[in-house]
């Protein structure tokens, strides 16, 4: 884990089944959320991007006593059809979905957004990081006859400019808008759709951003709490939004970033 943490156990997710998409290794945000939901009694189907990741993900999944794992590449309709079909075959219906997936090329995640964003890079970032959530929301809602809850993961770069975040900031703005529209469409079916805006955390995705480690330092030093964003806070917010504690919450972008997003000017030196 990125930080020492034992998820609090209980029954808040007892009787609930759902899909978690986006575990790549033990530092993945999706893995922190999975541990928390499992500790509260959830049954989880894990999707992973491909065979290369299976070797890393399987021991994690088994460590929490689970074994339902399905390959799913969000850019491949046949792979997505097969993944959701596998869940439907096994469980018939689900109660929650966690989408914790994003991608942009290294060349795009540095320097000038204007200079470095190619048509193909833009298309790929939008497809994997935004369209995939819309696609998952549709597929998951079809197997949520009793209502349910979904979350996706976003970042402050959607709302404000962040160095190197570039096309991913544009994608996250799209993802946040997609969250609101999906919440509107699915609300009448009793499905709550929300997003968590996490502060910078040390994961594979962060390593792909030029200067990503400095984003963590700035996030900590400028934050109201003067600390890094902790997995327990992100996973706790996911538990709140996906369990019955989150009743009446829909279309929300909930920040878990030690208060960084409200800072306009950092602390000033003494005169």
> Rule CB under 6 A: is residue 200 a binding residue for ligand NAD?
yes
CA within 13 Å, CB half, 227: 9
Q: Is 249 annotated as a binding residue?
A: no
CB of 101 to ligand NAD, least distance (A): 4
Q: Is 172 annotated as a binding residue?
A: yes
Nearer to ligand NAD, 17 or 99 (CB): 99
> CA torsion, points 18, 22, 24, 25, in degrees to nearest 10?
-60
Q: Is 33 annotated as a binding residue?
A: no
Does the active-site annotation cover 181?
A: no
Of the candidate residues 46, 84, 96, 103, the single one contacting ligand NAD (CB under 6 A)? 103
Q: Is 209 annotated as a binding residue?
A: no
> Where does the chain have alpha helices with state H?
29-39, 51-63, 77-91, 113-116, 119-126, 132-141, 166-186, 204-207, 212-222, 231-242
Does the active-site annotation cover 165?
A: yes
CB of 11 to ligand NAD, least distance (A): 27
Please state, in angstroms and rounded to a whole number, the distance separating the CA atoms of residues 133 and 8.
28
- Strands 96-99, 17-21: pairing kind: parallel
Find the catalytic residue in 48, 131, 165, 240. 165
Contact 218, 267 (CB under 8 A): no
Please tell me what DSSP assigns to residue 216: H
Span interacting with ligand NAD, options 180-188, 196-204, 220-228, 235-243, rule CB under 6 A = 196-204
Closest to 238 in 3D by CA, of 21, 3, 2: 21
DSSP of 75-102: T-HHHHHHHHHHHHHHHS--SEEEE---
Residues 61-80 contacting ligand NAD, CB under 6 A? 72-75
Find the catalytic residue in 48, 155, 181, 240. 155
3-class state of residue 243 by DSSP:
coil
Of the candidate residues 28, 141, 166, 194, the single one contacting ligand NAD (CB under 6 A)? 28
Nearer to ligand NAD, 206 or 249 (CB): 206
> Rule CB under 6 A: is residue 178 a binding residue for ligand NAD?
no
> Rule CB under 6 A: is residue 22 a binding residue for ligand NAD?
yes
> CA torsion, points 32, 104, 166, 182, in degrees to nearest 10?
-60
CB of 145 to ligand NAD, least distance (A): 26
Of the candidate residues 12, 97, 101, 158, the single one contacting ligand NAD (CB under 6 A)? 101
**Residues forming the annotated binding site?**
22, 28-29, 49, 73-74, 101, 104, 172
Catalytic residues: 155, 165
Sites of contact with ligand NAD (CB under 6 A): 22-24, 28-30, 49, 53, 72-75, 100-103, 128, 153-155, 198, 200-201, 203-206
């Amino acid at each position: 884990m990125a930080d020492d943490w034992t998820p609090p156990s209980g029954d808040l997710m007892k009787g609930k089944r759902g899909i978690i998409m986006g575990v790549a290794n033990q530092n993945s945000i999706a893995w922190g959320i999975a541990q928390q939901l499992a500790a509260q009694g959830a049954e989880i189907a894990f999707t992973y991007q491909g065979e290369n990741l299976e070797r890393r993900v399987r021991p994690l999944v088994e460590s929490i006593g689970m074994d339902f794992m399905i390959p799913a590449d969000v850019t491949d309709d046949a792979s997505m059809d097969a993944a959701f079909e596998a869940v439907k075959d096994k469980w018939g219906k689900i109660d929650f979905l966690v989408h914790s997936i994003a991608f942009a090329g290294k060349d795009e995640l540095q320097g000038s957004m204007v200079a470095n964003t190619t048509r193909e890079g833009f298309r790929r970032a939008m497809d994997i990081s935004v369209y995939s959530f819309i696609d998952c929301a549709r597929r998951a809602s079809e197997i949520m006859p009793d209502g349910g809850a979904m979350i996706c993961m976003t970042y402050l770069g959607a709302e404000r400019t962040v160095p190197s975040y570039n096309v991913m900031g544009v994608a996250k703005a799209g993802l946040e808008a997609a969250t609101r529209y999906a919440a509107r469409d699915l609300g009448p079916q009793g499905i709550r759709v929300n997003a968590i805006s996490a502060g910078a955390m040390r994961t594979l995705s962060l390593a792909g951003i030029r200067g990503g480690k400095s984003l963590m330092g700035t996030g900590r030093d400028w934050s109201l709490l003067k600390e890094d964003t902790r997995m327990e806070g992100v996973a706790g917010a996911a538990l709140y939004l996906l369990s019955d504690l989150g009743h009446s919450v829909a279309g929300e972008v909930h920040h878990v970033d030690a208060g960084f997003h409200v800072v306009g000017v950092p602390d000033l030196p003494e005169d």
